[in-house]
Amino acid sequence: MPTANSLPKSFLQLLRPRLPQMLDTLRELVNHESPSTEKVPTDRCCHFLADLWLHRKTLVNVVSQRHRGDHLRIVWPGTKPRPKSQLLVLGHYDTVYPSGALVKMPFHLKVGKAFGPGVFDMKAGIVQALFALDALHQSRLPVNKSIIFLWTSDEEIGSESSRKLIEAEARRSDAVFVLEPALGPRGLLKTSRKGVGEARLIVQGRASHAGLAPELGINAVHELASQIAKIEKWNDPRRGVSINADIISGGSRANVIADLAQATLDLRAWKLFDMRALEKRLHSLKPVHRGAKLELRGGFDRPPLERKRSSALFACAKSLATQMGFSLGEAAAGGGSDGNFTAALGIPTLDGLGAVGDGAHSSHEHILTKHLPQRAALLAALLATS
């Protein structure tokens, strides 16, 4: 049995020779397409994944969904008969690519990179977790916590069907490890993420002939323009608060005063405090034009992942990486993940533990294959020591 000091290195030694098998598994997983919005192929991918885990002495529970792909909850009870508590390994197996994307971008290996739809975001992360578990088995280390692996099917479209499951599992966990892609070629972990939301501002005015009776109209487009001018001033780059009207629409014809206009607003903030303040401001908007009515729908759907929830876990990960002979950095990400949900519950959360690569959601999406064993070893070491 490895000593505490040699433990991360021993995982690396177990995993390095397994790179070819990791790539074979990754190829098969990528070849099971799993678009978030198509249940049939996504379920097929889910069942392929379920089989992989069933072969590894785990309890596999397929959480059936009506409209989305099924979620997968896997339990490894650890090595002690009565585990004290649990750790959560979290990720999603859905991708942003529609069925048939493989025709244009087939899985392939080229000069140390693996390409394919969803390979980086985040199928390679799932493969790393699978092999991390293998390494835990092989090392025969005593692990007195059970480990839950949760692979969901709708992260790329907002996690509507999985959020409750993720939160319930996180509440029971001592820590959450998120296998989303790392940032940049140095594989930085994501120790903070912005809270993200979408709101719709709808303005109701009154239609009238623009030439014959303009005084009877209430121009919804003018009202919306005034509101947007006001909202724009709320942007605070220093605090990382942003609000952007990304889509607007309104009016019906050139000679009719617009009776309806609306804007879709992208909302982002680093801090929970700023998120709440921004929502409050939005809800307290008052019409500028007499008679106009404002309605606000939506708001933040992912709270921020604040660094204080990641810092202790990151320090552990950094020290384990040093013992394995590589340096590990951290970064802040402007986009959200399911880690935002778990961190907002106050559960220590470390994100960006997945693959090193580039081009998420694009035709050149790829990972750097040499990092696979290293990242899997890092996860195994974190699970063994947390």
- How near is the Cβ of 122 to Zn ion at its closest, in Å? 5
Told to check if 122 binds Zn ion by CB under 5 A, we report yes
Residue corresponding to tokens 């889509």: 247
Buried b / exposed e along 157-185 (16+ C-beta atoms within 10 A): eebebbbebbbebbeebebbbbbbbbbee
Query: Site for Zn ion (CB under 5 A): which residue of 33, 94, 121, 134?
Result: 121
Instruction: State the Cα–Cα distance between residues 17 and 112, nearest whole angstrom.
Output: 16
Site for Zn ion in 125-184 (CB under 5 A): 180
Q: Nearer Cβ to Zn ion, position 214 or 335?
A: 335
83 phi and psi angles, rounded to 5 deg: -60, 140
Please identify, using beta-carbon distances, which residue of 121 and 134 lies nearer to Zn ion. 121
Specify the DSSP class assigned to residue 96.
S
Those residues with Cβ within 8 angstroms of residue 126's Cβ, 6 or more apart along the chain or in another chain: 29, 49, 91, 93, 151, 179
Binding residues for Zn ion restricted to 179-238, rule: CB under 5 A: 180
Closest separation between CB of residue 338 and Zn ion, Å? 8
Residue (156 or 169) nearer to Zn ion, CB: 156
CB of 178 to Zn ion, least distance (A): 9
Scanning 310-350, the segments in alpha helix (DSSP H) are 311-324, 339-344
Residue 346 tokens, joined: 């106050």
- Please answer whether residues 378 and 320 qualify as being in contact, where contact means their C-beta atoms are separated by less than 8 angstroms: yes
Q: How far is the CB of 355 from Zn ion (least distance, A)?
A: 11
Burial of 241 (0-12, 13-18, 19+ CB in 10 A): buried
Nearest alpha carbon to residue 192 among 270, 274, 272, 277? 270
Tell me whether residue 154 or residue 180 sits nearer to Zn ion (CB atom): 180
User: Least distance in Å: CB of 375 to Zn ion?
Assistant: 15
Segments in 233-300 forming alpha helices (H) = 272-283
CB of 27 to Zn ion, least distance (A): 19
Q: Which stretch binds Zn ion (CB under 5 A): 122-130, 203-211, 342-350, 373-381?
A: 122-130
Q: Which is nearer to Zn ion, 122 or 350 (CB)?
A: 122
Q: Which is nearer to Zn ion, 122 or 129 (by Cβ)? A: 122
- The yes or no reply on residue 338 touching Zn ion (CB under 5 A) is no
CB of 354 to Zn ion, least distance (A): 8
**Beta carbon nearer to Zn ion, 25 or 153:** 153
Residue 22 engages Zn ion in binding (rule: CB under 5 A) = no
Phi, psi of 15 (to 5 degrees): -90, -30
> Which residues contribute to the site for Zn ion (CB under 5 A)?
121-122, 180
